[in-house]
Amino acid sequence: MGFTAFFFIGNLFFALVISCAEIVFGFAASFLVRSVLQNRAGKRNRGNDSFVLWFTGLSGAGKSTLANKLYGYLTARGFAVERLDGDTVRSIFPNTGFTRDERDNHVKRVGYIASMLEKNGVIVLSSFISPYRESRLAVRNMCRNFVEIYIATSLDECRKRDVKGLYEKVGRGEIKNFTGIDDPYEEPLNPEIVVETDGKPLQESFDHLIREIQRVTGIHITG
């Protein structure tokens, strides 16, 4: 990786930095997966019962809310489940930026972790804005059973919710390159599941999500 980077960048220092960063990420990813599997020892899903549920949508759409509720629902029923959330992962890698390349690389790294967990019999619930189709497709290709869940909440509704106060900061000019405002969000073209939340109570959206997961995966998760 270092010599390849040097060839294209033309600077050995930057090549070494890039190589070291990738090595560190590799160790961190492997450690994370090992830790999760140790915690899930004796609690694995059978064969094709493991899959990656990838929640995508605008900031404030309800991705984390639905994924967290689903996590509690599945673990209470004995499934081996793990959560990967955008804010949580960024807190571990705080220097991750918001340019297109940085976002793409971030999503792909998380996708790699998700794919490793899935291969070891864990259902993975990943909630990331993941605004670009190309990086979502890259993650799909890493996984055996990938289910794209588009939380199709309108921008107006997300502005009204503004749980984190981010849209207010955007309005004051404190945040640039914000998805859906001055940076694009590329809606999924053929998601396996669509959840529309505008004007709907959380439980109604969640019930729809459960039905759709059963339809797509063929796995019975109710009861």
Active site residues: 130
Where residue 96 falls (left for φ over 0; alpha for ψ -120 to 50; beta otherwise) is beta
Full DSSP string of 126-186 = EE-----HHHHHHHHHH-SSEEEEEE---HHHHHHH-TTSHHHHHHTT---S-BTTTB---
Query: In the beta sheet, which residues pair with residue 84?
Result: 126
Q: What angle do CA 91, 147, 90 make, to 5 degrees?
A: 5
